[in-house]
Structures are given as C-alpha cells and as structure tokens.
A and B are shown apart, each in its own frame.
Chain A
Amino acid sequence: MSAFSNFHPILLLVYVTVVLVTMFSSFHPIIVALALIGGILYFFMLHGMRTASKDVVYYFFVFLLIATTYPSYVHNGFTPLFFLNDHAVTLEAVTKGLVLAGAIVATCFWTKSYFEIFTTNKVLAVLTRVSANLGILVSMLWRFIPLFKTKWHEKQMAQRGIGLYKVNSRVEKFRRAFALWRQTLVQTAEFVFVKPDVMKARGYGMTKARTQYRVMRFTKRDGMLTIGLVLFLLYYIGYFSQHQTQYYPEISEQTLGAGHYVIIGLLMFYPFIYEAKESVKWRYLQSKI
C-alpha cells in the first residue's frame, strides 16, 4: 500500500488539481516534462518496475502518435523545418505537439495512479456528507473504467472461443469488434447502475453521519499542506495567466527563474519523494534490527 495514499482524501484531491492546473495553465515545456516524469515515477512506485514498464511503453506510442499527428495538421509558426504535401512542418508546431502529447500522457498517468489510490471508501468519505446520492453517483462512475476493462477482456476471450473473429475481411473483423465494444459498454453501464439498490439494501444513505473504519482525520499537517498548495496554485495561476507559453507565431521568451523550476519540480515529484522516503526509512529500520 502506498504511503502517499494515506493522506486525507481532500488533500489528495487538492494535490492532483494543483499538479494538473499548473501544468495546463503554464503549458511550459519544462513544467509539462516535470509533471510527466513525476507522474511516471509515482506510477512506478505504485506498481513496481515490471508491470509499470508495460504501460510506459504503451503510452510512449500514444505520445509519439499525438506528437507526430499534431504538426502534420497544424501549420502555424515561423520556422519551417521541412515540407509535407506542400505544407510546412514548423518548429513551433513540432514543439507544441511534443508539449501537448506530454501533457496528455502526464494526465493519463496521474489519473491511473489516482484510480489506484483514491478508492471508493475515500469517495464516499468525502461526498456522503455533501449528498448521499452524489456519493453513489460518483462512486459508480469511478468504478466504471476498471470494470469495463475486466468485462472487455472476458468478453473478448469468450467471443474468440466461439470464433467471432474467424473471418478473412479486416473490415468485418473490425465491425464485429466494435459491436462487441459497444455492447460491453452498455452492459457495464447496466451492471454499474444496479449498485444504488445494492448499496441502499446494505444501509447506505440511512444516515449522513457515516462513520469510518479507517479514521481519516484532517490533521494539522494536512491543513498546512492544503493551505500551502492553494497558495502555490493561486500564485502560479496568477503568474501563468499573464505569461502562458505562446507557441505562435513564435515560441515566447521564458522569464521564469531556475528557482521556480525547482519548486515546481518538488511539487510534481512530491508523491515519489514521499514514497521513496518511506521505503528508505523502512530499509533503515530493518537494517537496525
């Protein structure tokens, strides 16, 4: 279990908001790179080298796809690198494509990690006080993707077992796969929407004063960190709303000092550092025994 995930759910939410908002509001190559690396490092911490590297390889291709498609469609910018079908592929568009791809992939990794650590009980802990129905709704949506994945895998296997894809035509194969995909989507939705009854049958929504088996107390430390994060966010949003990196017609001059990158880097790497610190602490304690 991850040590970072033991922070209060509200703090966890504020944290990921700050990371993503900073990244998107700056759209700065270095900041996006920091967010991406921070996201991947934490993902490694959660899943271990072997499983995580598979995802990294997969998302590397997603990255390449976005990074190459973008400049071949957008031809703004001053500095042509070469020509493709009579259209200039510009340095500006290539750079923006890379940054865009980085930002999207970084978002994917952060979301994936959060799916892992932000469990249903955290969703309910935060939302039940607001509204029990909202708690049900969000926890259902939250479960949707992982559930869809398992169902999709199972369905694929079952349909291959009755020869669904035993046709020569590629188009027909694709058509069938798509029909199956659509059905899986509908069925997952149906499965997920039975849950409200089940949750109510088990007493959910009976009282708003829901208690917690694992107490999630909002400690002073959580409070300080939250305030720090919010101040950080306000400061940088203020800054970047004035100085967001512009790519067209020319890549804008960077005015941020090196110190800022260190601070932002620390923010983006925080879960990784925290996790690493905990495991080092553990090793150290162990060696003492």
Chain B
Amino acid sequence: MAILTIENLNFRYEDQHVLQDVSFWIKRGEFVTLFGPTGSGKSTLLKMLKREMRPSGKLSGTVYFNGEKIDDLPTSTTATSIGYMMQNPDEQMVMEKVWQELAFGLENMGVSTEDMQTKVAEVASFFGIQNWLHDSISDLSGGQKQLVNLAAVLAMEPDILLLDEPTSQLDPIAASEFLTHLEKINRELGMTILIVEHRLEELLPMCDRVLFMENGSLIYDTTPKAIGIFLLEHPMLDALTTAMRVYYKLGFRDETPITVRDGIDFIRHYPPTVLPTEPMRKKHPPLITVKELYFRYNRRSDDLLAGLTFTVHRGEIFTIVGGNGVGKSSLLRLLAGLHKPYAGKVWIDDVATSKWKGNIILLPQNPQALFMHSTLKEELIHAVPVQKLPKEQRESTVISMMKQLHIEHLSKRNPFDLSGGEQQKAALAKLLLHKPDILLLDEPTKGMDFMSKQEVMQLIRTLQKQNITTIIVTHDIEFAAEVSTRVGMLFDKSLIAINHPKTFFTSNRFYTTAASKIARGLFPYAITAEDIVSAVNLNNRRN
C-alpha cells in the first residue's frame, strides 16, 4: 500500500515555476533517492510533503499520506508521523544538550516520562549516542549533530523519513557513516525513506528506487540499475557510481555493476595495462616553504601540528587530505597568518607571511561566514576590491565573475537561502574578486553536486594557468585525485606521503578513490573512471 501519494503537484513562487505536474507514490518500507541537478526543485518538493516547512507560494495538486489528504490531517499527525531532516544540522536543533534534543519531540507529544525515557534510551543505544548524551550540542562535530537529529526524529516514531541533503555539511567519512545508519533503519526497522542527495556512490547500492528531477519536473522514476540507461546523453551520468560510469562509458548497456565489488568483477576479464604517466612538468621555484612548524591552541593542549615541513611551488594545486580533527583547517589558517605557530616559520618568497606583498585569500569551512548582504549581487558589489573600482566598472566586474561561476541566475537570491553547493560557488566568486596570488580552500566541494564540482575544478585549473597557487584541504578524495598536482596526507601532526596524485592514490589501499579500488592490480595509476576507460581503450587499440 502506498504510504505517500503525490498527484499533479504544482508550485509557483512569484513568477517562477518551481514544481510542474509532479506525480509519484511511495510504498511502505521503500528507500527512495531523489536526485537531479542543483536548482531542479528537489528540496522544494520535499518541503511540500512536510506541511510545517512549506514555503509561501501558489500550490496546487494533492498529497495523500496513508490514503488521506495531508491538508486535512491534524497537526499532531503531520508533526509526528512525517519525520523531516534539513541540510544544516544547526538549523534543526533547538536545545543545548544532546538528551534534551532527543527528548524534545516526545515532550511535545506529551509522552509520559517513563515511556519517554525508554524511547530515548532505545534510540540513543541504537545509534551509539549514549556516551555523549550529556554533551553540549555546540561541542559536537557535524556528523554527530546529524546523528542526533536523526535519532531525535526517529524517537517520535514517524511512518516516513524525509531527508533534504542531510550529508551536505559533512565530510565524506561522516557522510557515509550517516548513510549507513539510514540503510540500517530501512533494513532493520522497515522505515520508509525519501532522501534528496548528491552522494550516489554510497546511496545507489542501498536504495530501492531512484527519482530524477530536472527543471521542476519529475522525469524518471526507476530502479538504480536502470537509471543509467536514461542518462546516457545527460551530463548527470557522471554523478552515478564509478562502476556504473565505467560500464556505460565502455559502451555496455545491459546489467550494470553498481558497487566497487561489482565493478571489480566486471573489469576483471580485461588484460592488465599500465597507463602512461604524464611527463613531469618543469617545476616553478618554491613559493611557500614551511619549516619545522609547531602549533597548538593553548599552552595546556597537545600539539596539533609538530615538525611540519613542506614546500609548495608557484602555480601548484596542492591538496591536503586526512581525517577529521587532524588539523587541516588549522594548517590553512596558519598559512594565511590567522594563527601563529609557537615554533617554526612559514616563508613565502623567502619573507615572513605578514611581510609578503602578495594576496593570500582563505575560503573558510563555512562559506556563510563570508556573506554580509541580502542578495548575491550586493554581496559581490560590496566586496572590498570592487568598491575600490570606479563606479561604472563595478557592475560589469561582478557580472562577469558571476558568469564565470555560472551563478548569474542567482544574483537576486539571498546567499543564505542558496543550497550548499551554490553557497560555495558564491563564496568562491567573492574570494576571486580579491585577485588572490595564493588561494587557500577549506573543503571547497562540500555540498556540491557533480556538475558544480566539475565547474570548480575547471576554475582552479584556469587560475593555475594564471600562475595562481592553490592549496586545498579536503575530504573529497575523488576531487583531490582529479584536480591536484600533488597530494599530501596530514596524519599524526605532520604531512606525510606527499606525492603526485596518481602515485599517491595507487599506492593507497583504503584511503583512495573508488576507481583506484576497482582498478587495483589491473590498471595501476588509474584513479578516476575516465582513467579506467582510457586504460581499457588503450588495450583494445593495442590488440
């Protein structure tokens, strides 16, 4: 029986048609992924299903929940039976302590104290939250916050769970952990799930159905195995899992592999090939030299970085990867001169950071911190470097910057209302107006869909041609593999294994891209889906 039925849903916001004639239904116990390019109306569709979250606008069509019209249901049903999770964990939280957050919904329902304690205990134990039950919410990591949000929603025992890009603010490790929890509640508790997400690599193997949206319409409603066939000509094909991309790009059209394991099985029958490595580029002189750097936040804490030494050359795209809390962001702030090391020094062009004449610009982990105005255009026009230009040039400078990043259609929107990926691009636009010589990026691809990532990658490469040096800190290893000239791993207070990305990811077994895992032992130095495809093609040509 359908738990949720949507019939001819239309939604207009001002003169914009956000949803057009959307109809579909979801069976009890199904795990459904909704995806599509940024701005296709996915989040809006999800909000239509949760009455309390509906934005103002003109709505027509009907939503049935358990066979009844959702607008006729009492508040007590819509608030408790439909669980909803937002992108930004902080927006959803209302209390100070973890246990208060878990109990909040149940308290609102008027559940008796004994029942409530059992329910909170259950849900906390299920997700392994019991050890930090009394911690302050503000001390939790992003991943922990989303887990608490999930647990708090589930404690109310909803019939269906709606999730709006729940992992967009999380690093990939926390993100895949979160998705694993979703799989667990779907498999073990039969929870019905509708999720809007970009991370298909992990999600497609676990879900039952895929919905694809574009320009406000629901275009495809199919299974994970079948979706690829529909997207063959669509750029979003590259958003699918690595195994699927390799399969379709090699021209196969039948039963596609989805997981890394399927992918390994699929390419095993090809003979091994070694991809030719690119000739080493002539190196520019060193630009940034870090020597024996030691840093800690205060006298009593442990060293966060110790004896850190490395050099970055002019025009490089240097990527630093590593786990949570190893000090990647702190390292970027040290390079930007926002923190001071207690021993060792950062040299740029043989002078100290503070005396260097060039422009060092840092993209913070939370791009929202950069925004100060109510529309994107104002945001950029009021950027300090633009204000220094003569009046008539300001407008054109800003517009050309927005064009470069493909965000000109967002110019009238409030930067805070943009999706995670759009915010990153808006922040990048603001940074680039400062004409940086050194660009420091802290998690630039957080919350971005595949297409936006490609754009950012193109942008960084263009900047490289202008001899701008970029240092990226990221958890996104697929991105690091494609964009960098060198990769280093920050581990145990120091930067280890600095290498060319092909060497770096080929020699890693666990901490590496999906493509490298698939190609392991067969095509050394293949670290992206494209690499595997070209390795196979190279083989075919040789034979």
Contacts and interface: CB of A to CB of B under 8 A. Distances in A.
B369 A157 contact: yes
B434 A163 contact: yes
Nearest to A215: B113
Contacts of B366: 154, 158
A47 interface: no
A206 B79 CA distance: 8
Contacts of A200: 52, 75, 79
A213 B99 contact: yes
Given A150-B138, A161-B361, A163-B361, A201 B50 contact: yes
A89 B419 CA distance: 61
B120 A213 contact: yes
Contacts of A213: 99-100, 103, 106-107, 113, 116-117, 120
A179 B108 contact: no
Interface residues of A, number: 44
B78 to A, nearest CB: 9
B76 interface: yes
A124 B361 CA distance: 44
Interface stretch (A34-42, A75-83, A190-198, A267-275): A190-198
Interface in A134-151: 139, 146, 150-151
B94 A139 contact: yes
A190 B53 contact: no
B100 to A, nearest CB: 5
A209 to B, nearest CB: 5
A85 interface: no
A95 to B, nearest CB: 39
B112 A211 contact: yes
B190 interface: no
Nearest to B76: A206
A204 B108 contact: yes
Contacts of B99: 213
A161 B91 contact: no
Given A183-B372, A211-B116, A120 B94 contact: yes
A211 B111 contact: yes
A121 interface: yes
Question: Most chain-A Cβ atoms within 10 A of its Cβ — which of B52, B86, B152, B366?
Answer: B52
A155 interface: yes
A202 interface: yes
14 contacts: A119-B97, A154-B364, A161-B336, A161-B362, A191-B91, A200-B79, A203-B105, A206-B79, A206-B110, A207-B110, A211-B110, A211-B112, A211-B113, A215-B113
Interface of A: 1, 119-121, 124, 139, 146, 150-151, 154-155, 157-164, 179-180, 183, 187, 190-191, 194-195, 197-207, 209-213, 215
5 smallest beta-carbon distances between A and B, as pairs: A161-B362, A158-B369, A213-B103, A201-B52, A203-B108
